[in-house]
Amino acid sequence: MTGPDVPEPLHEVTVSVNGVRHTATVPARRLLSDFLRHDLALTGTHVGCEHGVCGACTILVDGAPMRSCLMFAVQARAHELTTVEGLGTIDAMGPVQQAFSECHGLQCGFCTPGFITTITAYLEENPDPTAEEARDAISGNLCRCTGYQNIVKSVLRAAEIRASADLGAPPLIDADARAGEAPP
Amino acid sequence: MTTRQFGQPIKRKEDPRLVTGGGRFLDDLGHTAYAAAFVRSPHAHARILDIDVTGALDVPGLIGIWTHEDLPGKVGEPLPLLIPHPSLTAPVTGYCLAPDEVNHVGEAVVMVVAVDRYAAEDACGLVRVDYDVLPPVVGLENARAATDLVHDSAPGNVAAHLVQEVGDVDIAMAAAPNRLTLDLQIERSMCSPMEGKGVYAVWDADDEHLRLWSSTQTTTGVRAAVAAKLDLPLAKVDCIAPDVGGGFGVKIVHPWPEEVLVPWTARLLGHDVKWTEDRREHFVSSAHERGQLQQVEVGFDDDGHVLALDVRLWHDNGAYTPYGIIVPIITSTQLLGPYKPGSYRCEFWSLYTNTVLVTPYRGAGRPQGVYAMERTMDAIAAELGLDRAEVRSRNFILPEEMPYDHGLLFQDGRPLKYDSGDFPASLAKLKALVGWDEFAAYKEQAASEGRRVGLGIGCYVEGTGVGPYEGGHIVIETSGRVNVATGLTTQGQGHQTVFAQIVADELGVPIENVFVTTGDTRRMGYAVGTFASRAAVMSGNAIALAARQVKAKALRIAAEALEVSPEDLEIVGGMVRVKGAPGTSMALGTVAVMSNPLRYAFDEAARAATQFAGGNDPDKPPVAAGEEPGLEGKDFYSPTQATFANGMHAAIVETDPVTAEIRILRYCVVHDCGPMINPMIVEGQVHGGVAQGVGGALYERMVYDESGQLLNASFMDFLMPYASEVPFIETDHLETPSPLNPLGIKGAGEAGCIPVSAVIASAIEDAEGFPIRSMPISPTELWELRQRHTEPVAAQGEPS
Ligand code: FES
Ligand code: FES
C-alpha cells in the first residue's frame, strides 16, 4: 500500500470508444465512468449513483450493456466500448434515439443515455418485444421524471423503426404500449 | 394559414441534443476545474470539539482545507431565511460550514479542494473531527415530547405554530349529528432527481467577474444570494443553470452551502472550482419532505355533508428552516381540495428534528393534505354506508360557485380563491374511465376466485402559477431568428418547446426559427424560479405578452415601409404581409434590419440598414421618438393570485390474500390544467408525477434509526420505483380555462403525485375492509394490520 503522501502509480490504458482508439495514463482506481467523462470528455454517459443501481452510466462493452461506474478504466483495456455518442448524431439519430424523441421518452434527459444503450443492446437480441417484455427490459434503470410509460412506448417504437428499412415511414404506434392488467 | 402550435403534441426541440449525448449537465462542464469535497457530520446532534487537518495536508494534489473559522465576513454568517412568516417564531438556519454544533448527519463541517475528486476525498478521509455527542431528536413523537431540544432557541422544538379558522368550528362540531376522529400518519420521502446538486464557478480576475453554474431551480436567486455573501455587486455575478437532471423542489432551496463556498474558493484560489454532489451526499445533505402526523375531527350530517372540519398537524421540518414554513401552510390550505366544509380550522406545529432539512418536494405539502381530507371522506362514507364518490360529490364546490373564496390565506400570502374548475364533470369522467359503477360486480367476481381487489379514489385542487412575476424577452435577428429568454429554469419540462409554441403562434413565425433560453441571468436578470407548477403560467404568459409587443412593433415598422396601416397587416410564416394581398410582404428579418439603423455595414443585411442606404426621410431622426433600435420586446406577467388546477385519480389494487403483496392493476387520472400548450408534455408530467406518488405510497421512506442515522441512504436501500413498480397510467383531460391570465392556462407540473397516497390507501382499505391510517404501506405492514384486525384480542395484548 502507498501512504497518503505518495503519488499513485499510473497505468497506460488504450481503449476503443465508438470506434476511435484512445490512450491515456490513469491511476488504477480511476472509474471507467470518470475516465470516459473527464479524461475523454465524452460526457453523454451520466453518473446517477456510482453504486451500480440506477443504470445511467450504462455503456456497451463489446456490445453488452455494462455499468461504467462499476468498472475501472484499466479493466476496459482491449475492449470495444460504445457510448450514447456512438449510437447516432443529431442529424442521423439511431433508431432508439429517434424513438425516444418521437415518443417523449425523456424529460430531463439525465437517465436517457443509460436507457438508450440498454435498449439498443436489448433489441439486438429481442428485435420484436411485446409491451410487457419491453417494460421488463428497462426495469434495471431508474428514471425519476417519466414514469416509464413513454420509455416502454419508445422501446416498441424503436423496434418498429429497426424493422423498417424506410426510417420514419410507419405511423406512430398507438398509446397502447400498456404493460398493465386488462380492465375489469 | 399556419397551424396553431398551441395545443399540438409537438416533438420537443431539446430532444435531439439530449438523446445523442449532447446534454450539458453540471458535471459535464469544467474538466480542468479543481474539485471540492466535504467532511460531513457522522452524528445527528453533536458539539464540535476539535478539528485536526494535519493528517490530510500531505495528500498529493491537495489545494486547500477550510473550516468555519476560516470563513470571512458574511461567508461565515448563517445562511439566509428565504421566506419569513409571522408564525415562524423560532427560525434557525444553518451555516456554510458548521461552527460549533452539528444538527444532522450529513451537515458540512470541513471543505477540501484538490486537483480532482479522488484526491479531495482522500484528504477528507484524513481530517479528524472530535465531537461531543448530544441527545438527538428523531421522529415527530420525540420532537413533540421535547424531552430533548434540537436548538436551545426553539422551546418545545417548535419552529412555528399557526391556526387558521373559517366559521366557528367548535359550535358547528357540537351541533353536528355525526362525528369522527382520525389519527393519520405519512412518512418522509425525497425528490431524488437523477442528477444531484452541483456548482461550478469561474472567477475572472482581470474582469473581477464571477461566472457561476448551478444545478438549480432559480439562477436569479442563487446569483443574488452569492453576490450578497461574497460582497460582490450584482453586475459582477452571472448565474447559469445548464441542463438540469431533474429538480422536483429540492433545487429551489438556495443558497446551499456549496453554492457559496465553491465560488468563494474559486475567487480565493484564482482557479475554477467544481463540486458535484454524490448520491449519498444527496440523501444526507440536501432535503426531504412529507413527514407529518395528523389528527382530523369531522362533524357531518346524515347525508355526508361536512359541517365542521378540525385538523391538527405536526410537521417535521428537520434541522433548519431556510425555506420557512411553506410546506405546512400549503398542507393546511390545500387540504380542502374541491370541498366546502361548513367550517374549518387547521392548527399546525412545525417541529425541529435532528434530521435533514425539509423543503418542498413535488406537491409541496399537498399530498399530505389530500391524504388527510380523502381519508376523511372515505371514513364518512363508511360511517354512513354511502358510496364514496357520492359523499365527495355532495361536498363539491360547484362550477356556478366559482370564483370560490375559502376565506384563508394561501402560500403566497393572498386569499385562497379558486378561479375555475368543474368538479362534478371531472368526477363523471373519472367514474366512466375507471368503471366506478361496474366495480362492485368485478370485486364480487374476483372474490369468488379467491382474489382481493379494491377501488380507491382521491381528489385534489392545486394552486399553481403563484407570483410574484416572471418576464419574457424577445429579440428578432436580421436572419429572422427569434431569440426568446425567460429567467426561470428548466429541469425537463420542455420549456424550449412550449415557449417556442407560444411565440410561434403569437408572432406568426415557424417554430424552427424560435430559440428559447431559460435560467441564464445574462439573458434575463429578473426572475423568480421554477416551482409551484408555475413556469408555463408565469413565463408562458410573460413571453406571450412580450411577443405581442414585438409583433406590434414589427407591424408599425412594416406598415410605414409598405405604406399601409398596421391593422391591415398580418404575420404568417415569418412574413409580414397585407391581409388579402399576400404578394405585398416583407420578411420579419427585413423588419429587424429596418428597426436598427446602422452606420457600419458588415454583411448584406447590414448594408441595407445603413443610414446611407437611401430611402430615409431627412426630416426624421433615424430612430423615431419613443422607439428603440432593434426588433425587441420585453414584458412581465404578475398575477393578483394563483390559478387553481385540479384532478381526480382512481386506482384498482389487488392484495395477495397470503403474502399481502400489493399490486396496482389500474391507475386512472382525470386532470384539468386548463388548455394544454402541449398535451404530450402535460401527459408526461402526469405520468412522472404518478410514478413518484406510487413510490411515496408503497416504497419510499427515509429510515432513520433512533440515533439519527439515515439507514437507507443509497439507491440500493431507498426503493425508488423502477418500470416494474409503476402501473400503466390511463388519462383523460378536462380543459376548464382560467379567467386570470391571457393564455387561460393553469399549472401541471406537480399534479400527478398529489393524490396518489390517498388513492392507494383508499383502494387497499376497500380491498381489505379495515381502515388504512398510515402511509406508505409495505406488504409486511399490511400483513401485520391483517393480524391485528382478524385477531383483535390477541393483538391488544401484544406490544405494538
Ligand atoms: S451511476 Fe452507475 S449505475 Fe448508477
Ligand atoms: S428523464 Fe429525467 S431522470 Fe429520466
- DSSP codes of every residue in B629-692: SSEEEEEEE--SS-EEEEEEEEEEEEE-TTT--EEEEEEEEEEE-SS-S-HHHHHHHHHHHHHH
User: Is residue A112 predicted with pLDDT exceeding 80?
Assistant: yes
Flag if A101 and B726 touch (Cβ within 8 Å).
Answer: no
pLDDT in tens, B379-428: 999 999 999 999 999 999 999 999 999 988 887 888 889 988 899 999 99
**Residues of chain A neighbouring B446 (CB-CB closer than 8 A):** 184
| Ligand 2 centroid to residue B35 C-alpha, Å | 26
- Compute the Cα dihedral for B547, B552, B555, B560 and give only its sign: negative
Q: Half-sphere exposure of residue A83, counting CA atoms within 13 Å on the CB side?
A: 24
From B314, B313, B327, B312, select the one nearest B358 (Cα to Cα): B327
Measured in angstroms, the CA of A78 and the nearest CA of chain B are apart by 24
pLDDT in tens, B129-156: 999 999 999 999 999 999 999 999 999 9
- Separation CA B728–CA A177 (nearest Å): 9
Report the helix count and the strand count for chain A, using DSSP H and E: 5, 5
Q: Among A134-138, B94-98, B793-797, whose mean pLDDT is lowest?
A: B793-797
User: Is residue A166 predicted with pLDDT exceeding 50?
Assistant: no
pLDDT in tens, A23-36: 999 999 999 999 99
- Separation CA A144–CA A149 (nearest Å): 12
pLDDT in tens, B765-793: 999 999 999 999 999 999 999 999 986 55
CA angle (B279 as vertex; B273, B280 as ends), nearest 5: 100
> Given this model, what pLDDT does residue B799 score?
41
- Separation CA B265–CA B260 (nearest Å): 9
User: Is residue B189 predicted with pLDDT exceeding 70?
Assistant: yes
Distances (CA, A) of B508 to B6, B480, B576, B584, B586: 12, 12, 9, 16, 13
- Separation CA B684–CA B678 (nearest Å): 10
pLDDT in tens, B638-683: 988 888 899 999 999 999 999 999 999 999 999 998 889 999 999 9
Residue identified by cell 446532534 is B45
User: Helix (H, G, I), strand (E, B), or coil: what is residue B70?
Assistant: helix
Domain boundaries, chain A: 10-86, 88-178
When the candidates are 3.10.180.10, 3.40.50.620, 3.90.470.20, 3.10.20.30, the CATH number that belongs to A10-86 is: 3.10.20.30
Q: Half-sphere exposure of residue B705, counting CA atoms within 13 Å on the CB side?
A: 7
The alpha helices in B104-249, defined as continuous H runs, are: 117-125, 140-145, 169-175, 219-229
Q: What is the mean pLDDT of residues B6-18?
A: 94
User: Is residue A169 predicted with pLDDT exceeding 50?
Assistant: no
> Given this model, what pLDDT does residue B2 score?
59
Chosen from A31, A37, A107, A120 to mutate, greatest number of chain B CBs within 10 A: A107
Gyration radius from chain A CA atoms:
18
Work out the pLDDT band at B82, boundaries 50, 70, 90: very high
Work out the pLDDT band at A176, boundaries 50, 70, 90: very low
Which residue has a Cα nearest atom 4 of ligand 2?
Answer: A143
From B440, B555, B547, select the one nearest B503 (Cα to Cα): B547
| Ligand 2 centroid to residue A107 C-alpha, Å | 5
User: Is residue B583 predicted with pLDDT exceeding 90?
Assistant: no
Cα B179 to chain center, whole Å? 36
Report the helix count and the strand count for chain B, using DSSP H and E: 20, 29
**Residues of chain A neighbouring B492 (CB-CB closer than 8 A):** 106-109, 145
Q: What is the mean pLDDT of residues A73-80?
A: 94
* Cis, bond preceding B468 (omega within 30 deg of 0): yes
| Ligand 2 centroid to residue B241 C-alpha, Å | 17
- Separation CA B528–CA B218 (nearest Å): 7
Q: Write out residues with Cβ below 6 Å of ligand 2.
A: A 106-112, 143-146; B 194, 246, 492
From B643, B638, B637, select the one nearest B672 (Cα to Cα): B643
Q: Which CATH class is domain A88-178?
A: mainly alpha
Q: What average pLDDT does chain B have?
A: 93
Higher model confidence: residue A179 or residue B727? B727
> Given this model, what pLDDT does residue A178 score?
41
Q: A-B interface: how many C-beta pairs under 8 angstroms?
A: 214
Domain boundaries, chain B: 32-134+191-285, 364-462+641-796, 467-637
Residue identified by cell 425508488 is B720
Residue B562 sits at φ, ψ, to 5 deg, of -90, 0
Contact B309, B240 (CB under 8 A): no
Q: Quick one: which atom of ligand 2 is closest to the CA of A109?
A: 1
Flag if B246 and A45 touch (Cβ within 8 Å).
Answer: no
Does the domain at residues B467-637 carry the CATH identifier 2.60.40.10? no
> Given this model, what pLDDT does residue B800 score?
38
pLDDT in tens, B288-325: 999 999 999 999 999 999 999 999 999 999 999 999 99
> Given this model, what pLDDT does residue B791 score?
64
Is B384 near chain A, with CB under 8 Å?
no
Flag if A142 and B715 touch (Cβ within 8 Å).
Answer: yes
Q: What angle, rounded to 10 degrees, do the helices at B756-768 and B679-694 form?
A: 50
Residue B599 DSSP label: S
ipTM of the complex: 0.94
Ligand nearest, relative to CA of residue A49: 1
**Residues of chain B neighbouring A90 (CB-CB closer than 8 A):** 16-17, 20, 22
> Given this model, what pLDDT does residue A7 score?
74
Residue identified by cell 498529493 is B60
Work out the pLDDT band at B561, boundaries 50, 70, 90: confident
The reply to whether domains A10-86 and A88-178 share a CATH topology is: no
From B381, B369, B376, select the one nearest B186 (Cα to Cα): B369
Gyration radius from chain B CA atoms:
29
Copy the grid coordinates of residue A131.
Answer: 409491451
Ligand nearest, relative to CA of residue A147: 2
- Separation CA B545–CA B136 (nearest Å): 53
| Ligand 2 centroid to residue A111 C-alpha, Å | 5
Greatest alpha-carbon pair distance for chain A in Å reads: 68
Which residue of chain A comes nearest to B362, CA vs CA?
A: A145
Copy the grid coordinates of residue B594.
Answer: 429596418
Contact B314, B293 (CB under 8 A): yes
> Given this model, what pLDDT does residue A65 score?
97
Distances (CA, A) of B796 to A63, A98, B775, B789, B792: 59, 60, 22, 10, 6
From A32, A38, A82, select the one nearest A52 (Cα to Cα): A32
Contact B200, B29 (CB under 8 A): yes
- Separation CA A89–CA A64 (nearest Å): 21
Flag if A150 and B491 touch (Cβ within 8 Å).
Answer: no
Chosen from B26, B126, B728, B730 to mutate, greatest number of chain A CBs within 10 A: B728
- Separation CA B326–CA A80 (nearest Å): 52
Higher model confidence: residue B796 or residue B488? B488
DSSP 3-state helix, strand, coil percentages of chain A (rounded to 5)? 35, 15, 50
Q: Write out residues with Cβ below 6 Å of ligand 1.
A: A 47-50, 52-57, 67, 69
Output b/e per residue, B439-453; b: 16+ Cβ within 10 A.
beebbeebeeeeebb
**Residues of chain A neighbouring B727 (CB-CB closer than 8 A):** 180
- Separation CA B317–CA B95 (nearest Å): 17
**What predicted TM-score, i.e. pTM, was given to this entire model?**
0.94
Strand A20-27 to A10-17 pairing: antiparallel
pLDDT > 70 in chain B, percent? 98
pLDDT > 90 in chain B, percent? 82
Residue B584 sits at φ, ψ, to 5 deg, of -90, 100
**Residues of chain B neighbouring A133 (CB-CB closer than 8 A):** none
User: Is residue B762 predicted with pLDDT exceeding 80?
Assistant: yes
Q: Which of residues 247-266 of B touch A (CB under 8 A)?
A: 248
Q: Quick one: which atom of ligand 1 is closest to the CA of B715?
A: 4
> Given this model, what pLDDT does residue A150 score?
97
When the candidates are 3.20.190.10, 3.60.21.10, 3.20.20.70, 3.90.1170.50, the CATH number that belongs to B32-134+191-285 is: 3.90.1170.50
From B759, B792, B799, select the one nearest B776 (Cα to Cα): B759
Q: What is the mean pLDDT of residues B523-533?
A: 87
Q: What is the mean pLDDT of residues B97-122?
A: 97
Q: What is the mean pLDDT of residues B593-604?
A: 82
pLDDT in tens, B419-473: 888 999 999 999 999 999 999 999 999 999 999 999 999 999 998 888 898 899 9
CA angle (B163 as vertex; B162, B168 as ends), nearest 5: 175
- Separation CA B380–CA B300 (nearest Å): 8
- DSSP codes of every residue in A99-134: HHHHHT--SS-SSHHHHHHHHHHHHHH-SS--HHHH
Distances (CA, A) of B471 to B247, B527, B638: 21, 7, 9
What order of strands is seen across the sheet that includes strand B101-102? B101-102, B46-52, B128-133
Q: What is the mean pLDDT of residues B370-380?
A: 98
> Given this model, what pLDDT does residue A171 score?
42
Q: Quick one: which atom of ligand 1 is closest to the CA of A55?
A: 3
> Given this model, what pLDDT does residue B618 score?
78
Task: For domain B364-462+641-796, give the fold.
Answer: Aldehyde Oxidoreductase; domain 4 (3.30.365)
**Residues of chain B neighbouring A95 (CB-CB closer than 8 A):** none
User: Is residue A4 predicted with pLDDT exceeding 70?
Assistant: no
Copy the grid coordinates of residue A118.
Answer: 440498454
Contact B165, B345 (CB under 8 A): yes
User: Is residue A61 predicted with pLDDT exceeding 80?
Assistant: yes
